[in-house]
Amino acid sequence: MIQVLVVDDSVVVRRLLSDALTSDPRISVVGSAANGSIALQKLAHLKVDVVILDVEMPDMDGIETVRRIRADFRDLPVIMCSALTERGADITLRALAAGATDYVAKPTAAAVQADRMNSFKSELLAKVIALGERVARASLQSPPRASVIPEPKPRRAPSLAPPAALAFGSSTGGPNALATLFERIPADFPVPIFIAQHMPPLFTKILADRLAASSGVRVVEAQHGVPVEPGFAYVAPGNYHLTVGLVGARLVTQLNQDEPENSCRPAVDVLFRSLAAFYRSGVLACVLTGMGRDGARGARDIVTAGGSVVAQSPDTCVVPSMPRAVIDAGLADLVLPLGNLADELVRRVQAPTGFRASARALSQREM
């Protein structure tokens, strides 16, 4: 049984969240709190597997509460619950940077009145179950004998083609993983970057702004019909799929609201598939932390077109399902911890000649 603590200053929201959670027999709400101070007191006495935490509360807000929780409960999953507003998005991303694990957007009053709660309920339950089961698995595992990271082994031969585009796919844990990577991407990065992060509207614009503030490259929320330029990173907007297409002789970003794939819009599969169609062997894709299998089919399209796929090592993911699906399918040519990914990706893009030589040698060894 996954035991949850619900923290929100609204009695109505606490009841709404509790009812949604307890509709699944695998989840038990073991307590609730009206603010962060009360939550911390309850955490000291309750066994809790997951915390659902409001962003804006009196006395102690969500960001400060996350910091306090992390001081005493380093690995306890904390899911932020925020309003679908620009302010809510900004505070939520700050909470993620402070140590929160994931987030859900509160349903609007109109959605509640119209009984359009199914999508919110499904998202909430999926995240609580995924994070709660991760805690349960971790508690059953023996502590590692050493902290040395084993040497990663290639799963397939890397592409010999020079990368012409870099793409990221991510979900749960993605904002912080992307922030870690973009701090190490230089301003003179010679190819465009495309990002599909599972996020609602407004959140993706704030994510792009935050990545731009910490990176040398120019990160923007993608717009329809904008020419693709090297040194720019394009974040798929919430509720839109991001693809590329030709207008005359120019490659441009394109947005659409086609049906969700893998229950996601934006979907990583859609982006990867589009890039494989236009860049062919020039795609270098990286699948980061996330829940579900989004990105696995798109990664196969990239590999079939001659491109390369790198995956974040599952043991460094908040939720490892997305990269695990790619790894298990044999589509990743390299699996690396988050801390080593940026240098590897930059090396492949900035030194394609040397990379092709090392890739060719690797391919010959595996023959």
Token pair in block for residue 115: 């009984």
Catalytic residue among 32, 49, 198, 241: 198
* Burial status of residue 367 (CB atoms within 10 A of its CB: 0-12, 13-18, 19 or more): exposed
Compute the chain's Rg from CA coordinates. Answer: 21
Alpha-carbon dihedral angle through residues 255, 256, 259, 260, given to the nearest 10 degrees: 20
Q: Whole-angstrom Cα distance, residue 95 to residue 108?
A: 21
CB 269 within 8 A of CB 295: yes
Total residues found in the chain within this entry: 367
Of residues 249, 335, 270, 279, the one with CA closest to residue 165: 279
Of residues 334, 278, 328, the one with CA closest to residue 306: 278
Q: Whole-angstrom Cα distance, residue 114 to residue 318?
A: 34
Q: What is the DSSP string of 241-271?
A: EEEEEEETTEEEEEEE-PPPBTTBSS-HHHH
Task: List, in sequence order, every residue forming a beta bridge with 27; answer none if it has no partner.
Answer: 2
45 labelled catalytic:
no
Catalytic residue among 32, 82, 159, 171: 171
Kindly state the helix (H) or strand (E) to which residue 87 belongs, with its residue range. helix 86-98
Catalytic residue among 49, 90, 102, 294: 294
Which amino acids are annotated catalytic?
Answer: 171, 198, 294
